[in-house]
Amino acid sequence: MLSGLSRGWLRPRGRKEDGRLSRASGSATRPMSLESDLIATLGPERVHSHPLELLVYDKDAGVTRGKAIAAVLPETTQEVAACVRLARKYQAPVVARGAGTGLAGGAVPAEPALLVVLTRLNDILEIDAEARTAWVGAGVLNLDLSRATEHLGLHYAPDPSSQAACTIGGNVATNAGGPHCLAEGTTVVHILGMEMVTATGDVVMIGSKAPDPSGLDLRGVVVGSEGTLGIVTKILVKLTENPPAIRTMLVTFDSIQAAAAAVSGTIAAGIVPAALEVMDQPMMIAVEGFIHGDLPVDAAAVLLAELVGLEAGVAAEADVVERIAIEAGATSVKVAADEAERALLWKARKSAFGAVAQAAPDYYLHDTVVPRTKLVDVMTQIYAIGESHGLEMLNVFHAGDGNLHPLVAYDAREPGSEQRVRAAAEEMVRASVAAGGSLTGEHGIGLEKRDLMGLVFDPVDLDAQARLREAFDADGLLNPGKVLPTGARCYDYDLGELPGGGAQ
């Protein structure tokens, strides 16, 4: 049952204080509550409200925990719409949730809310190999789609490090990226259309198979909106042809600066590899302890570069990358000999965040973007910030597009540790923005960076975003308290007095 704290406001507006509503005949009454109505709609096995059950749902993979009043597990778009309509009836906020792999608090309730968990919408509904498209449920795991299309010579290009666990609906919410988005682009490039439940519980279709449909680009608006404009239940994705040839290189350096120079040199030479990933020595040591892959843990930094295309072109580009790396100071260049060795290298890269448990029981993973030319400067600042706060820093990042992922390993049981971590994280964001970067590359704004939006957006920008949000959800019931800071509307504050310290 719902707690007494929540129960008091989970009644329809205009109902009697005791929560009872007279039937039309006036001859009988029945108790009314959001929980009982949800159970009537979904059944008791798909409505969770016990405090211990909710511990699973009111937090994502980040460090912030929220307060869920209940979590429901619909299995169809119609059930999602019914849950939204019930929440609206009781004026309860609604937060959509996928697998909970997010790191910015996007699916963490900022205030007591109903969590609509979409993991059971996990069917791959249609694969059109000729058109290279697929309709999938929002709860389909990212990697499962590529596995299902592998026999057709196709794959879904966005590949977050959590792709074995994250859902495509969650990827849409945050406009997720991944190592191979350097050449292929982030999620928004690979979404053609979607079915979405609006704040009023209506079901609408956005986009189409047409690559450039007429009218407003609502698809581009919804992707990355973190569930504040509607709840996406089905997605029409583009599929990408598997490359005929792949060459994966592991290059070692005796400094992060040298690795960054090799990245810049590669792009400057006109080569855009499928991926350019950098890991520092502390991260490599943690990963080696996790996968035991005989990794070069003596190197100060490693660059994982992957080239794809026709065999002759891949070979020629690999020669150029190797030359540039050696000129930048590479100490060794190794090319994966076969698919098994390539898979091991990518296992090392994609195990990085889980492997940090080798260093400490807790971690804070950040996400900012800086111009490639500023990589060395900002990385130097990030190491200094960690040192000034007495924190252990590990770094792995999408070097090709300047998407940094500094990771702080710490023990939350130590008094004051989380406060130090959060203070350091804000300094990292400010350093990235000051270098001409942005708040996030793929994790989203969520709760984590909401109050720093004023660093990059002026009052007019924030007001425009708030107006757009109100056009979709006038009552503010969808994922309230996310993305936009308090006072995002121009009439809420004096011009120039921005949350987060003012526009730069």
Q: Are strands 113-117 and 94-97 parallel, antiparallel or unpaired?
A: parallel
Among 234, 236, 229, residue whose Cα is nearest residue 200: 229
CB 446 within 8 A of CB 102: yes
CATH code at 124-241: 3.30.465.10
Q: Are strands 240-241 and 332-335 parallel, antiparallel or unpaired?
A: unpaired
183 token code pair: 């050449």
CA distance 185 to 469: 25
**124-241 matches 360-434 in fold:** no
* pLDDT on residue 32: 58
Percent of the chain topping pLDDT 90 = 81
The confidence band for 272, taking pLDDT boundaries of 50, 70 and 90, is very high
Q: Three-state SS for 502?
A: coil
CATH code at 360-434: 3.30.70.2740
Q: Is the pLDDT of residue 6 over 70?
A: no
**Residue 209: CA atoms inside 13 Å, Cβ hemisphere, count?**
10
CA distance 408 to 366: 8
Q: Three-state SS for 291?
A: helix
Look-up of token digits 């993991």:
119
* pLDDT on residue 489: 72
Q: What angle do CA 147, 153, 158 make, to 5 degrees?
A: 55
Domain ranges of the chain: 4-117, 124-241, 245-289+299-347, 360-434, 450-492
Phi, psi at 273, each rounded to 5°: -65, 165
Look-up of token digits 């239940």:
233
Q: Is the pLDDT of residue 8 over 50?
A: no
- What tens digit of pLDDT does each residue of 454-495 get? 999 999 999 999 999 999 999 999 999 999 998 777 655 444
Residue type, 156: Y
- What tens digit of pLDDT does each residue of 389-423 get? 999 889 999 999 899 999 999 999 999 999 999 99
* pLDDT on residue 352: 87
- What tens digit of pLDDT does each residue of 199-235 get? 999 999 999 888 777 788 999 999 999 999 999 999 9
- What tens digit of pLDDT does each residue of 291-325 get? 999 999 999 999 999 999 999 999 999 999 999 99
CATH class assigned to 4-117: alpha beta
* pLDDT on residue 490: 61
CATH code at 245-289+299-347: 3.30.70.2190
